[in-house]
Structure 1
């Protein structure tokens, strides 16, 4: 099958990707496995280090005591990529390097292993930008500390690596440059609920430029990244994704774009949200005072109090109010307060619809979440309608063969069956 994208020079942006033919809404544009990836440290005991599946019980590598796998099959399949890492992990026990250090080391091992190296990439590791010349001195110091940790981590493999790495381009041999490339270009790997489970480098897709209202979205099946169109795209039109979460507060999003990707977004959406932020500065500060609660009960009480007082004067579409409502939803779910959870969840849906005019996986997952709560509380008709709305989004963003799509179809069928049983009784 002919590729649907190609590399080009995007005016004012540098390198980019564009369509080579007309792409329809919902179409799979590109799919690939990472050059290297690793499970996030905070989830290392919950996620298989090979297939990235969540499981309650996992087999632990008997040597490094860190890597975990679904079964012996996953462990064997992972060994070719884990054997060098395993020696490095053992040398630092009980310390475990940061995700970026582990990913940088895995990149080195992958590039040095011809069997893992892809010849089809549109963008080489050497070409990836490090942006070292434009970062602040403070950030450069932080990157230098990570580079030192990388050198320490690789110490056990150093004698062999020094000889092998002479074949690599200079920018990939130098630890500071490599760490900077990783932090600028890696992707967060997420599960079906869009929760972070790991990080990976997908060289060709590092070419994608940012847009606050992109024409493509990315979803994952295990470690495989799928790029799908959420709007019809014409030939030679640039393909874009959002580097930040659409519902992130403008200040947070702008800071992330500047700190991690080294540019400032000046689109209409960012400007309009800035006005909202200045108008509700006090409310904004109240929201962040809740961000680190001592327990879920405290969080729920604080959110409820804030929504019933200050929140009464703030429109529903205010992003800061939405954040508090979402926090109240999370707390209610953790506490098993299902009726409250449904109430908070249903309040968020019109706002999600407003901020996601194009199909987006975050909107679909929120609908699915609320639908499951409605179903649990036997609000069957409401649940079916919510699942239908979720399906219209998920079938575009995830495709027909994704487990999320299959799960939604099953939920809709359950609702219809229960409604039929109720009407015939």
Structure 2
């Protein structure tokens, strides 16, 4: 942690600042989790050791709750699971994810003490719990978790005071970090990273956080590397500059971001983008054609209509009625595209979900067109090295490849690769996937330019064998853009 130092950030309390100069893509620091657990809803589909999604997992023979890829993963995860396994057996069932994480943290504290590694800059006792700031309804739910935790906590383990237990659960509530699967495409669990908790928020940050699972596939667990987060620079950072990340998605309006930050993290954001409402005009703007803009009334009417249709579209998606999703979206966009700007956030969400559903239904031409509009809108709103922009460009690149539009597809994949090299680094699995896509689309583009007929003939034959990655079943509209920290649902 020689690259950073704790300091008093004006108006924010403690924060971290750089002690040297950094450039885009530099890893400022890496930090293993104190503890991490799989979400309740995915407990039987995600390995509890390496956090990979697997079709067939082996169940722990003792507690019947934890699941693992194989004996290698089970051995690797035994240190964290040993006491939990016994507690679940005795209790009769596994408690929720917050209780399981709280228990793992307390067992780790009992074993290693407050400073669990040489690189840890703060103790868990020093982290904010914000219990005093909780609304009454949230506090009631919080107390239910504490009550259930006390029932679950083994009598054979060290007994902790109520105040200490409340503090740990408060820290989890406002500082638990969402843990992704091996490829970084889905949030599958929650963990605690003390040094990361010291990095303050900015809506237009100079850093990003990525989970790097390291090597979790070696047969011998002695060669496994630690699951860790990496704080990476998004651009040039001078020595002495405060390090910041964004706790919420910038695609929200200023008012919505500030409401989320106040409700979830108990502070008022005073960053430049909030003070000056930067880009809010684009996010709810009208489409300008030849210098002529629609009236405010027309924009408001189209905005309200789009918002209403988004709710219907999401209901159809949840019911798995994907053809209905396409119909609702097309009807909506037919009315709103002539009025709303290509940066209007409701229209962007519509294009995002529609393109994903169309790709799933193999309507690739339409999916490619809508994903391109989505990416073009994102480019005008997001930081040029935003990970969400990179992932959107990757998705669009694959969709254009599937549609046979190799030139646009290769361009999108290259754009995504450039961004994810900064946000994820060259060794992350998703970046390696992108590198393979980039090489494949580059080769196909050369073939295309030499002889289009031969290219399309060979591509058609290849598609019958093994298509490039197909889209997974569409998720909800917000699934792809998660808040940085895990919050109680």
TM-score (norm 1): 0.90
Q: Which residue of 1 aligns with 2:218?
A: none
Offset at residue 93 of structure 1 (A): 4.7
Q: Which residue of 2 aligns with 1:301?
A: 327
| Kept after mapping to 1: 8 A contact 2:130/2:170 | yes
Instruction: Write the distance in 1 (CA, Å) between the matches of 2:197 and 2:52.
Output: 24
| Kept after mapping to 2: 8 A contact 1:23/1:229 | yes
Deviations 1:373-401 (A, max 9, x none): 12223322221111111111111111222
Q: Structure 1: which 5+ residue stretches go unaligned?
A: none
Offset at residue 272 of structure 1 (A): 4.5
Cα–Cα, structure 1 residues 318 and 421, in superposed 2: closer, same or farther, change >3 Å?
closer
Could you list the structure 1 runs, at least 4 aligned residues long, displaced by more than 6 angstroms after superposition.
none
Q: Structure 2: which 5+ residue stretches go unaligned?
A: 214-226, 285-295, 455-489
Instruction: Write the distance in 2 (CA, Å) between the matches of 1:178 and 1:412.
Output: 45
| Kept after mapping to 2: 8 A contact 1:35/1:118 | no
Q: Which residue of 2 aligns with 1:284?
A: 307
Offset at residue 45 of structure 1 (A): 2.4
Q: Which residue of 2 aligns with 1:204?
A: 195
Equivalent of 1:159, from 156, 161, 176? 156
Q: Which residue of 2 aligns with 1:215?
A: 206
1:15 counterpart SS class:
strand
| Between 203-212 and 109-118, the greater mean CA deviation after superposition | 109-118
Instruction: Write the distance in 1 (CA, Å) between the matches of 2:88 and 2:398.
Output: 41
| Kept after mapping to 1: 8 A contact 2:309/2:329 | no
Offset at residue 251 of structure 1 (A): 5.2
Cα–Cα, structure 1 residues 210 and 285, in superposed 2: closer, same or farther, change >3 Å?
farther
Cα–Cα, structure 1 residues 303 and 153, in superposed 2: closer, same or farther, change >3 Å?
farther
Equivalent of 2:362, from 326, 336, 342? 336
2:209 counterpart SS class:
strand
1:417 counterpart SS class:
helix
Deviations 1:204-223 (A, max 9, x none): 11000000000000111223
Equivalent of 1:187, from 152, 161, 177? 177
Q: Which residue of 2 aligns with 1:98?
A: 96
Q: Which residue of 2 aligns with 1:379?
A: 405
Instruction: Write the distance in 2 (CA, Å) between the matches of 1:113 and 1:207.
Output: 24
Offset at residue 130 of structure 1 (A): 1.0
TM alignment of 1:226-237, pairs within 5 A? 226-237=230-241
Offset at residue 107 of structure 1 (A): 0.7
1:31 counterpart SS class:
strand
| Between 54-63 and 186-195, the greater mean CA deviation after superposition | 186-195
Q: Which residue of 1 aligns with 2:439?
A: 413
2:167 counterpart SS class:
helix
Q: Which residue of 2 aligns with 1:143?
A: 142
Is 1:5 matched up with 2:4?
A: yes
Instruction: Write the distance in 1 (CA, Å) between the matches of 2:357 and 2:4.
Output: 43
| Kept after mapping to 2: 8 A contact 1:46/1:54 | yes
Instruction: Write the distance in 2 (CA, Å) between the matches of 1:228 and 1:274.
Output: 27
2:77 counterpart SS class:
helix
Offset at residue 105 of structure 1 (A): 1.2
1:197 counterpart SS class:
strand
| Kept after mapping to 1: 8 A contact 2:410/2:445 | no
Instruction: Write the distance in 2 (CA, Å) between the matches of 1:336 and 1:250.
Output: 36
Instruction: Write the distance in 2 (CA, Å) between the matches of 1:181 and 1:310.
Output: 44
Instruction: Write the distance in 2 (CA, Å) between the matches of 1:68 and 1:159.
Output: 25
TM-score (norm 2): 0.79
| Between 246-255 and 16-25, the greater mean CA deviation after superposition | 246-255
TM alignment of 1:337-352, pairs within 5 A? 337-352=363-378
Cα–Cα, structure 1 residues 313 and 54, in superposed 2: closer, same or farther, change >3 Å?
same
Aligned length: 414
Q: Which residue of 2 aligns with 1:20?
A: 19
Cα–Cα, structure 1 residues 312 and 404, in superposed 2: closer, same or farther, change >3 Å?
same
Instruction: Write the distance in 2 (CA, Å) between the matches of 1:51 and 1:40.
Output: 14
TM alignment of 1:46-195, pairs within 5 A? 46-93=45-92, 96-114=94-112, 117-154=116-153, 157-162=154-159, 165=160, 171=163, 173-174=164-165, 176-191=166-181, 192-195=183-186
